[in-house]
Amino acid sequence: MNPRPISDARDTDLRLSEIAMARAAVRARDIAQQTGTDLVVSENGVIKRIRLRAAIGPYVLQEPTTEYGKAP
């Protein structure tokens, strides 16, 4: 396994995958809350069901300032 962090990867898609995963997690949380379904996550190999309450406030996701596919 490569010990370097993903943020140091030469491949742009791999390098930006963490941002895409964070964006997908926010979207999954929003959909689960809107539909009244549990959010299912894995923490340390343990599957957990999380029942979401009414929205406390909007989630904020900061997009990268560079254009997709361009190196920062």
Tell me, what amino acid is at 19? I
Domain that holds residue 35: 10-50
Domain assignment present for residue 66? The answer is no
Domain assignment present for residue 33? The answer is yes
SS3 state at 72: coil
Give the tokens for residue 56. 């406390």
Domain assignment present for residue 71? The answer is no
Which pLDDT does position 47 carry in this prediction?
93
Domain assignment present for residue 23? The answer is yes
Domain assignment present for residue 15? The answer is yes
The pLDDT tens digits along the chain (72 residues) read: 778 888 888 888 888 898 899 999 999 888 888 888 888 889 899 999 988 875 555 555 566 666 666 665
Domain assignment present for residue 67? The answer is no
Domain assignment present for residue 17? The answer is yes
Question: Domain tally for the chain?
Answer: 1
Give the tokens for residue 67. 């254009």
Give the tokens for residue 12. 């742009």
Which pLDDT does position 62 carry in this prediction?
63
SS3 state at 40: strand
